[in-house]
Structure 1
């Protein structure tokens, strides 16, 4: 049975993630006390007609002592036969979480007369560290719409085959901030920039004029070769270590030209050897 534990700060999209998995036939439980998780798993596995996919949300609504016990609980779960476990952790920037709560006017579960919203959001991050430190899939929902998040959940979890490593390339612009959920980040701002050519400025790295320009640059080809060599060497070791998902960020200044081109080329290369390769252009989206 596949078990996905969903966690993250309030307002980061846990309910949306749970609903997305429910839509693809996961048996879903929200806000389960962490110490009950092993008993729940054992009870479900004892039923001959048990579901093959289970998703459970564990968050800061748990008792604080329960969250501190989570690493031990998770270690026991990983020893359970017939169980494949992974942890999905969602998060957003504190500014975004503040805006979301202000828009909905909901009460944060940790806010009180002595602790305001901003303090509660910061405190929640610390409380969830025992869970977040063990997460093998992370998604930064700061710039994702509800529909993009649902699609991302389905691609990274529901549509991935057992024991198959998923690889995502994400282009971004440094001037808009580094994504919070990437495992590796490659800075391509040293490469020739099409932005400074007026005839190319209005295009993106997906358009033929920019592609032709960058393909002619020796430094671009050398950078591509080095990144491919690095990933080809180390991805198999991550897969052997039971990593199910790797995200690679490719950043340039604005996230329009160089990072898009490099991400497209990398995705094209690794799709020849891997079944689950995804690509996202943050600034173009």
Structure 2
């Protein structure tokens, strides 16, 4: 997909709110554009930054969905509606539906994804799909028909993203820059403690084994306490090799986060295990999360098996 052409028009550019959206604190985004242009990637990127995304919405339901989003609030306070030619209700009336939204005071931000015909043809051919509007004709015929249907909607767009020279990650980052804000684009880390006897966390990206450290279970005055308590934490972290162990994993996570973010990963799970998930893994998970936060990462500690014994 090289460089994007992103064009802002009129007063509805990202960052502004007027009419109904301002009054209700609801942000509405309408995503449309050429098939093969990258609508699905845009939709996923909007989900990543907290939008409630409705895909393949018939244009006839655009106003109804906007009204529902405003009334619902909460998780629907940021709603994106994706429209394309898969819906037979989709027609040249899309432009009129967008106009009606604006007339009702909803001030939607319209994103139009586009690409050169040659690029679209290559994309369809690479996945061996026909264009939804080509019928018995060629891919180029379907693309031409769709361009005609969407011409007025393109003219109404607040943001036009030409994806001809953008790869998936570049397109995702562009959308996140427009709609996410810095916090939404940050990689979020969960450091989770667990007990090996209960099985590995299935979503772990890294697994640390703290069983090389002496087990507080065998210290009578510590047995009934947990790694979240100062006495147990001090005992675990005071053992030979414990500090270097935490440091090594903190360095590893710090060294990889930038790469994960470039590849579009938004959540990273670091699992720390001991025998039962009560003492060593809990203390190590709390300390690792604290060190990662001090290095500027968004990290929190969770304890899957604490209290399970």
> Following the alignment from structure 1 to structure 2, what is the Cα–Cα distance between the partners of residues 136 and 48?
24
Contact preservation (8 Å) 2:70, 2:77: no
The SS at the match of 2:170 is: helix
Contact preservation (8 Å) 1:13, 1:141: yes
Of 91, 109, 124, the residue aligned with 1:67 is: 91
1:104-125 C-alpha deviation (Å, 9 max, x unpaired): 1112111222x21111111111
Partner of 1:158: 180
Partner of 1:112: 135
The SS at the match of 2:45 is: helix
Q: Please, what TM-score do these two structures have when normalized by structure 2?
A: 0.48
1:109-160 C-alpha deviation (Å, 9 max, x unpaired): 11222x2111111111111113111001011101101000000011122229
Contact preservation (8 Å) 1:8, 1:132: yes
Unaligned runs of 5+ in 1: 161-285
> Following the alignment from structure 1 to structure 2, what is the Cα–Cα distance between the partners of residues 138 and 112?
27
Partner of 2:109: 86
Counterparts of 1:151-230 in structure 2 under 5 Å?
151-159=173-181
Partner of 1:21: 46
1:137-193 C-alpha deviation (Å, 9 max, x unpaired): 011101101000000011122229xxxxxxxxxxxxxxxxxxxxxxxxxxxxxxxxx
Partner of 1:125: 147
Q: Say yes or no: does 1:141 pair with 2:163.
A: yes
Contact preservation (8 Å) 1:67, 1:130: no
The SS at the match of 1:35 is: helix
Partner of 1:198: none
Partner of 2:121: 98
Partner of 1:275: none
Q: Say yes or no: does 1:76 pair with 2:117.
A: no
Partner of 1:31: 56
Cα distance change, pair 146–49 in 1 and its aligned pair in 2 (3 A): closer
How many angstroms does 1:77 deviate by? 1.3
The SS at the match of 1:152 is: helix
Q: Please, what TM-score do these two structures have when normalized by structure 1?
A: 0.52
Contact preservation (8 Å) 1:9, 1:124: yes
Aligned length: 157
Of 22, 25, 45, the residue aligned with 2:70 is: 45
> Following the alignment from structure 2 to structure 1, what is the Cα–Cα distance between the partners of residues 120 and 174?
19
Contact preservation (8 Å) 2:52, 2:75: no
Unaligned runs of 5+ in 2: 1-25, 183-309
Flag the structure with larger Rg. 2
Contact preservation (8 Å) 2:49, 2:179: no
How many angstroms does 1:48 deviate by? 5.0
1:17-38 C-alpha deviation (Å, 9 max, x unpaired): 0000001110001110001111
> Following the alignment from structure 2 to structure 1, what is the Cα–Cα distance between the partners of residues 131 and 181?
33
Q: CA RMSD in A?
A: 1.8
> Following the alignment from structure 2 to structure 1, what is the Cα–Cα distance between the partners of residues 55 and 92?
19
Cα distance change, pair 48–122 in 1 and its aligned pair in 2 (3 A): closer
Partner of 2:202: none
1:222-251 C-alpha deviation (Å, 9 max, x unpaired): xxxxxxxxxxxxxxxxxxxxxxxxxxxxxx
Contact preservation (8 Å) 2:50, 2:78: yes
> Following the alignment from structure 1 to structure 2, what is the Cα–Cα distance between the partners of residues 48 and 25?
13
Partner of 1:182: none
Cα distance change, pair 112–48 in 1 and its aligned pair in 2 (3 A): closer
